[in-house]
Amino acid sequence: MIIFDCNGVLVDSERIATAVASEELMQAGFGLTPEVIAHYFTGRRPTDMYQAIEQAAGRNLPADFIGRVTAATLRRFRQELRATSHVATALSWLRGPKCVASSSPIDRIRTSLDTTDLLRFFDPYLFSASDVRNGKPAPDLFIYVAQKMSVEPRDCIVVEDSPVGVAAANAAGMTVVGFAGGSHAQGKLAGQLTSAGARTVIADMRLLKGTISALRGW
């Protein structure tokens, strides 16, 4: 079983998502730049991010804030979102079961994959951290996916682009391939993914099939 994160792995979404979140936070009186959001919250559930921001600021976000961010993000995704370079080819090459496990809500996952014509590779096997108690870096989502897909964690390979995602998959007992090829990736990301527990790191989806074959010992 190959489990893919969505944002920053299948779709090049991180710059759009952090820009939207920053704009809405600024309008609500919370001065967080896209860079700050990316640094502290990449790979985490939006609800966990909002809770952390409220705790740090000592005040609540507006009651309609989550709805506004969700609507603005989906609108921008439909207009601007692109698949990660070469990912459709990589998915076509990979044989066997595949699924998506993301910190995003399920509507954002589905919109992201539908907009970029990647939904056909995974539907209906889409899983959101909204369905588990603890988000990444806790292993809850990946353990949940293994149970739902009737596979052992040790038989799963996860493709992740964030240190918290790598840590979550590693804690679940899965093998992790780090991906550092998104437009948001910084020079230090590969090292951060390795430090978090990635077995290997790639920056080009054309290397994915060979990497997975090597990990499986084929």
Query: How do residues 137-155 score in pLDDT, each as one tens digit?
Result: 999 999 999 999 999 999 9
At residue 165, the pLDDT reads 98
Q: What's the 3-state SS for 128-194?
A: EHHHCCCCCCCCHHHHHHHHHHCCCHHHCEEEECCHHHHHHHHHCCCEEEEECCCCCCCCCHHHHHH
Grouping H, G, I as helix, E, B as strand and the rest as coil, residue 107 is helix
Residue type, 1: M
What is the C-alpha separation between 87 and 76, in angstroms, rounded?
21
Going by C-alpha positions, the residue among 196, 202, 148, 210 that lies closest to residue 179 is 202
The residues near 167 (Cβ < 8 Å, ≥ 6 apart) are 136, 137, 196, 197
Q: With contact defined as beta carbons under 8 Å apart, do 137 and 168 qualify?
A: yes
Q: For residues 106-112, give the mean pLDDT.
A: 96
CA distances from 78 to 72, 110, 201 (A): 10, 11, 29
Per-residue pLDDT reduced to its tens digit, 5-32: 999 999 999 999 999 999 999 999 999 9
At residue 218, the pLDDT reads 53
Q: Scanning the structure block, which residue is given the tokens 């790639």? A: 202
Per-residue pLDDT reduced to its tens digit, 41-94: 999 999 999 999 999 999 999 999 999 999 999 999 999 999 999 999 999 999
Domains of the chain plus CATH, in order, are: 2-13+82-216 (3.40.50.1000), 14-80 (1.10.150.240)
Q: Scanning the structure block, which residue is given the tokens 């951290």? A: 129
Confidence band, pLDDT 50/70/90 cuts, at residue 185: confident
Per-residue pLDDT reduced to its tens digit, 57-72: 999 999 999 999 999 9
Going by C-alpha positions, the residue among 76, 78, 124 that lies closest to residue 100 is 124
Per-residue pLDDT reduced to its tens digit, 193-218: 999 999 999 999 999 999 999 998 75
Confidence band, pLDDT 50/70/90 cuts, at residue 95: confident
Q: Scanning the structure block, which residue is given the tokens 């052992």? A: 152
At residue 33, the pLDDT reads 96
Q: Scanning the structure block, which residue is given the tokens 């899965």? A: 174
Per-residue pLDDT reduced to its tens digit, 113-125: 999 999 999 999 9
Q: Are strands 98-102 and 2-4 parallel, antiparallel or unpaired?
A: parallel
